[in-house]
Amino acid sequence: MFCPEKQHRVGVSLHCHTTPIVTDTGVKMAALLLLLLSVGALFFSSNAQEAYNRLPETYKKGVDLALEKLNSHAGIQHHFLFFRSVKKSDIESGFDVSYIYHHFLLKATKCPKGTVDSTACKFRTDRPLVDCAVCYKMFGGEIEQLPKPYIHCIHRPALTEEMNMERINHCDRMGYSSGAPTLLASMGSQ
């Protein structure tokens, strides 16, 4: 065994002292990698807020309503944020009246329930998504109290096809009772 520096005998084998080789290029690459990881983490943590911020105001109000209802449950211990839309549709029935249907996902964060500034909250990866569907009537940019807004949120693994159909049927009945066309038959965006 060849060692360019001093050798030391430990037990029966011969050990060499080696110093790690650190080059200027290696330090620059490590710094660049650290910078990229930091920017990626910042982007990922702010991604949910960005998705929420891109929603039109009419849809944000429904998400806020669902978050308010979710936070009223005693069993909820973490702060939730909007994750992404699954389906959106709206019907403009004239005279500044519209009917909104929004199917979306919420995701738990590492922040405790009641957090006011959620910009530093990071998503948890160990909790299931919360699947929500809301439908409501808007007049003049505000949610009307009649008919009562429909909010249904449930942890994703527990959502059944029957529940999903009940959501759709409930929102369709809401639209029919006011003489509006079916919400889910409208040309919404996904």
Cα separation, 123 vs 143, whole angstroms? 29
CATH-assigned architecture of domain 47-177: Roll (3.10)
Domain-wise residue ranges, the chain: 47-177
* Span of 41-45, 63-67, 122-126, 141-145 with lowest mean pLDDT: 41-45
Amino acid, res. 33: L
Alpha helices, DSSP H, located in the chain: 24-54, 57-71, 161-177
Per-residue pLDDT, averaged over 4-16, amounts to 54
The model carries a pTM of 0.69
